[in-house]
Structure 1
């Protein structure tokens, strides 16, 4: 039985994690949140208390830490007595936080693949460049490390495993579709960290097809999808974290990720990219000042957390999985629909942050009760999916299945 949680990060997803941990602090124990700016952490704690989210009287404390500093993170784990660390900071800090967890024997989880600030879209399978190289050390230390346990990656990985266990005899293809049919009312903004957002879309689009990696460019391949609630939506083949792990478990299946983009986003993105403003490489101004164009763009765009009060509409994220059952072709669509306004009313964040922030807390609860405390490094598809998906259903992210028999809860 593990207790006491340390949250790394203080953005929109961290706010969701904090509220959901508070709603379950009777099972999770003492709560702590840390980032480079302690005031941001305290503001999140204040929002928890304003909502009356703490299920039981208990500790929720704010701390300052540089998450790139492994000894500092290890020291904070020691100081707080945290046995579970939920890393929802920048993807740049994954390895330093993971190293601290291995050193201290604390369970670790994150919601996105590690990124090197100096590199974009690394050689697949990307997990093999950083996380998976630490598998043996996690196992030797008995440390549970769950990689990519947001929604995508995360819940969509569990959908694939559920289809494998309960819906299909064979799997021929996994198409993950992510549609945000909401509106934030701003002329232009990104739904999560602009730097991470743009880095994700400026590199090569990798998919796993015909038993190997296929390369495309962003917005090269698009198609329309007929989806529950949000209707017909255009989505584009996009490189994404879960393709890099699901292709290892399902090497005989095609694994693709599709994300919805409006024409306005594509136009702005294209202009910024063609002007060189999405580059991660430093440039020197006429005044001799060195700047990173991508960081400048990030600085002038709205903070994604600021979008929440005005966000309306819904998201639909799911897996269309094709294969066979009983010797006949079959397909299943397993999905979730989330509402931006409902998310804001509950936790003060928009729906994108909500879908990313609830799953790691569900994983923390499963680690706390031993169900997912496996003592080694895993991706979500390596774990039993039904306890996770059923728990998510009670926490605000219910999943449904659409197949030949109709549309129903899982």
Structure 2
């Protein structure tokens, strides 16, 4: 059984990961949290103790770390005896952390595709530009690397696999729908790191349709979705990580990602983009100071973690799978509904962080038990989803299915 976890990152998602690891430390053993800013790790640890989250008495320790330095990550892995690394830092450190895990021979997971700070929206499939290049090295060293194991990407990939396996064996389309019907009471804010959030939406919208990559612009294609609990919501086709692995593993299907946006967000985003304030390229001010506009915007917006106390409402995130079964049309919507206030009361974070942070801990538990310890690099849809759903049900993110026969728990 693999034990001892190193969490890299100290933002809102890392807080959820730390709480959930603590709640399951009888399985996961010692818990270590590392970030450039030690005080952020210490604040998370204080939150864990305040909530009494530790299931059994054990180690919960902070560390200062520059995660861009692979050698430093290797040294910390060896110092802590960590056998599972949960990387929830900014995506810019994915590759050095992955390289460190390969060198140290420990399990790796992340929640998004690696990016370079000066590049946005590279040629698809995005995984092929970075993580997938290390597949052979993982297999050679017997290293388990589970890519994109947040909610989306992550759980929605498992939803797709489950929907195809159980309901729609001849899959024709996979649509991921992400709706946040909550309200945080601020004039404007992003629900996760503003820099990462805006980078997702300033480039080309890639989807996989008719056996080829299709290109659109942001907010060009929208439609209304009638969803459980949150009702009718407008969502727009958006480029996103999971499209790139699902299109590779299910090339016969159209694969699209849809995210809900209100008119206010679209208006603010459009103004910022048109003014050049969402650019990742440096500019020089009249005073001769070089700045990156996107980082300035990030600096003036609220920290997403600060939204948690006032956040109310629910999220609905799911995967609609369509195709045929036994020659007849078939479809199923596999989904989860989460509550912002419930998340805050349990772990001190808002629902977006909660849905992103719980899944990697479920994956860590499955690695520790040997169920998902596959000694190679995989995306989530390449793994059996049922054990994943069982753990997610237990630790806070229950899965449901809705088809022609009704709406029910996935295992009913």
TM-score, length of structure 1 as denominator length = 1.00
Question: Does the CA-based 8 Å contact 2:5-2:86 persist in structure 1?
Answer: yes
Question: Counterpart of 1:251 in 2: which secondary structure?
Answer: coil
Matched, 1:99 2:112: no
| Structure 1 CA distance for aligned equivalents of residues 237 and 161 of structure 2 | 22
Question: Does the CA-based 8 Å contact 2:175-2:257 persist in structure 1?
Answer: yes
Partner of 1:406: 406
Cα deviation for residue 349 of structure 1 reads 0.2
Alignment of 1:11-410 (within 5 A): 11-410=11-410
Cα deviation for residue 325 of structure 1 reads 1.2
| Structure 1 CA distance for aligned equivalents of residues 165 and 371 of structure 2 | 18
| Structure 2 CA distance for aligned equivalents of residues 117 and 397 of structure 1 | 32
Which runs of 4 or more aligned residues in structure 1 lie more than 3 Å from their structure 2 counterparts after TM superposition? none
Question: Does the CA-based 8 Å contact 2:164-2:321 persist in structure 1?
Answer: no
Cα deviation for residue 86 of structure 1 reads 0.1
Question: Counterpart of 1:374 in 2: which secondary structure?
Answer: coil
| Structure 1 CA distance for aligned equivalents of residues 164 and 384 of structure 2 | 11
| Structure 2 CA distance for aligned equivalents of residues 318 and 113 of structure 1 | 20
Cα deviation for residue 79 of structure 1 reads 0.3
Instruction: Write out per-residue CA displacement over residues 103-147 of structure 1, whole angstroms, 9 at most, x where no aligned residue.
Output: 000100000010011100010000000000000000000000000
Cα deviation for residue 278 of structure 1 reads 0.2
Question: Counterpart of 2:349 in 1: which secondary structure?
Answer: coil
Cα deviation for residue 167 of structure 1 reads 1.2
Question: Counterpart of 1:143 in 2: which secondary structure?
Answer: coil
Instruction: Write out per-residue CA displacement over residues 297-319 of structure 1, whole angstroms, 9 at most, x where no aligned residue.
Output: 00000000000000000000001
TM-score, length of structure 2 as denominator length = 0.99
Which runs of 5 or more residues in structure 2 are unaligned?
none
